[in-house]
Amino acid sequence: MKLIVGHSNMDMDCLGSLALAKKLYPDHQLVASRHIHPVAKKLFKLYENYFSFLTLKDIKGAEVESLVVVDTRSKKRIAEYTKVFASKPSQIIVYDHHPSDSNDIETDDLRYRNYGSNTTILGLELMEKKIPITPDEATIALTGIFADTGNFTHENVTIEDFRVAHYLMNQGAQISVIREFLKTLKEEYQLTMFHEILNRLVYREIKGHLVVFSFIEMENQVSGLASVVEKVFEVENPDAFFAVFSFIKSKSSIVIARSQKEAINLHDLLGALGGGGHAMAASVVFKGRNGEEVSNDLLRFLEEKIIPAVTAEHIMSRNVQNINENWTLKDASIFLESINHTGAPVTDDEGRIKGFITLRDIMKGRKADQMHAPVRGYMTVRVVTAEIHTPIREVEKLMYSNDIGHLPIVQDSFPVGIVSRGDLLKFIKQHRPNKLVDSVVF
């Protein structure tokens, strides 16, 4: 037999990869996992007959001549298939995009690319070979790309993801259908759980990070909890969110977490507790432990292990150009022009900050023919400032809520730096990862 398989608990990117793999290997047959991720069930059910998936029962005892594996390099994640084969496949071809996967499938043909979506790898190969696909196949594939790139907002999105998406649109992919598949909270119990979690959130500042926790006790585990956690994370927008679910009958608990900061690397943090996932989305299961105990231990663990947040001191410009309060508006205007700034802190003769003046303030004096008036008469007196240890989250909040382009950083009333919108934007571009949405299987 010649077969194509994806990882257990198939998600949308896995299904998209399978759809395109079938076009690249038309003499191979697709095999369905026993488990389909809740967010992908509707997509799978709608197209199940279209692809004529084989089941594990159909391949039991099979001699596999060729095996194509998509969306994983982990032997564990395809064990449900390989353990029913009569022997090891003669040939194994692997397509994967996960940089942190275990990479223990024995193959001489690994097609790994660090794209936002695994479907992109196969899509590029289809484009290169000029293999036509149907609108239905294009729709399934584009759904996978949207899901694993967070609608093209994740930090791992590449130009190639956009190229393949453009190609799939030209092949007839239907955005209206894709939008329906990408709805995360489809069940009534998920909506109920969503509101219940919102009412039980606990906020903690840990080493400068805003970390949110929730604890929910349930009789039995239900599917789709990760989607609920993702939606809460999206609405609350903390630096990280840790949701603890305790299941009474099985006497177990699970932590599902989301992060949007490099300093809160969930792959490392929850990996140390026996869990796994990505840097921005991970989970860990605890057997024989109740949720309250897990929650308390988790909080202590995070308080010890989380890396301190980046602060104003790390991104501020240290060469502060100040204007003396006794200067004239004309002097201030010439000075700002010479340093190519639109504003600067105003200090007294001893160097203490007294206010802030911008070109817009100076323009008011110019219109009133008062360019020889002292700066202190036109400066903003109630100047918004921050200290060097102010976390970046608070720096952003101060700048956005006060609609200011420059934030003086002070120590004992003396300016020691300044954060501009340019400094903040540079930090966001270089250091802030984007949230993962429904791309991690739990």
**Per-residue pLDDT at 368:** 93
**Per-residue pLDDT at 117:** 95
Range of the domain at 29: 2-181
Q: Do residues 317 and 256 both lie within one domain?
A: no
d(CA 234, CA 226): 12
Token output for 337:
């022009």
Q: Do residues 39 and 153 both lie within one domain?
A: yes
Q: Do residues 266 and 366 both lie within one domain?
A: no
Strand ranges inside 41-97, DSSP E = 66-70, 91-96
Question: Which residues have CB under 8 Å from 88's CB, separation 6+?
Answer: 82, 106
CATH code (residue 325):
3.10.580.10
Q: Do residues 9 and 127 both lie within one domain?
A: yes
Type of residue found at 260: Q
Q: Do residues 287 and 331 both lie within one domain?
A: no
**Per-residue pLDDT at 100:** 65
The pLDDT of 347-358, averaged and rounded, is 93
Question: Which residues have CB under 8 Å from 424's CB, separation 6+?
Answer: 315, 392, 395, 396, 399
CATH code (residue 213):
3.10.310.30
- 8 assigned to some structural domain: yes
- 335 assigned to some structural domain: yes
Quickly count: other Cβ atoms within 10 Å of residue 357's Cβ: 25
What total of structural domains would you count in the chain? 3
Question: Which residues have CB under 8 Å from 315's CB, separation 6+?
Answer: 392, 395, 419, 423, 424, 426, 427
**Per-residue pLDDT at 14:** 95
Per residue in 259-279, pLDDT tens?
A: 988 889 998 999 899 988 778
Phi, psi of 371, rounded to the nearest 5 degrees: -65, -15
Are 118 and 71 spatial neighbours (Cβ–Cβ below 8 Å)? yes
**Minimum mean pLDDT among 33-47, 85-99, 313-327: which range?**
33-47
d(CA 94, CA 421): 45
Q: Do residues 217 and 148 both lie within one domain?
A: no
d(CA 306, CA 324): 42
**Per-residue pLDDT at 290:** 84
- Confidence tier at 257 by pLDDT (50, 70, 90): very high
Q: Do residues 46 and 100 both lie within one domain?
A: yes
Token output for 331:
């002097």
- 438 assigned to some structural domain: no
Are 406 and 237 spatial neighbours (Cβ–Cβ below 8 Å)? no
| Structural domain ending residue among the three candidates 151, 181, 211 | 181
Q: Do residues 207 and 258 both lie within one domain?
A: yes
Residue 72: closest CA among 148, 130, 165, 129: 148
| Structural domain ending residue among the three candidates 181, 203, 232 | 181
Q: Do residues 298 and 320 both lie within one domain?
A: no
Residue 15: closest CA among 25, 30, 3, 26: 30
Q: Do residues 164 and 197 both lie within one domain?
A: no
Q: Do residues 123 and 165 both lie within one domain?
A: yes
CATH code (residue 41):
3.90.1640.10
- Secondary structure of 323-363 in the HEC alphabet? EECCCEHHHHHHHHHHHCCCEEEEECCCCCEEEEEEHHHHH
- Going 35 to 259 to 295 to 245, the CA torsion angle's sign is negative
Per residue in 185-242, pLDDT tens?
A: 767 888 899 999 999 999 999 999 999 999 999 999 887 888 899 889 989 989 999 9
d(CA 12, CA 17): 9
- 406 assigned to some structural domain: yes
- 203 assigned to some structural domain: yes
Q: Do residues 105 and 165 both lie within one domain?
A: yes
Token output for 142:
């584009």
Element (H, E) at 347: strand 343-347
Is it the case that residue 123 has pLDDT exceeding 90? yes
| Structural domain ending residue among the three candidates 142, 162, 181 | 181
d(CA 281, CA 179): 23
Per residue in 363-408, pLDDT tens?
A: 999 999 999 999 999 999 988 999 999 998 899 889 988 888 889 9
In whole angstroms, how large is the CA radius of gyration of the chain?
Answer: 28
- 61 assigned to some structural domain: yes
Are 249 and 240 spatial neighbours (Cβ–Cβ below 8 Å)? no
d(CA 83, CA 175): 38
- 391 assigned to some structural domain: yes
- Confidence tier at 101 by pLDDT (50, 70, 90): low
**Minimum mean pLDDT among 43-47, 207-211, 318-322, 435-439: which range?**
435-439
Question: Which residues have CB under 8 Å from 170's CB, separation 6+?
Answer: none
Residue 424: closest CA among 416, 415, 432, 434: 432
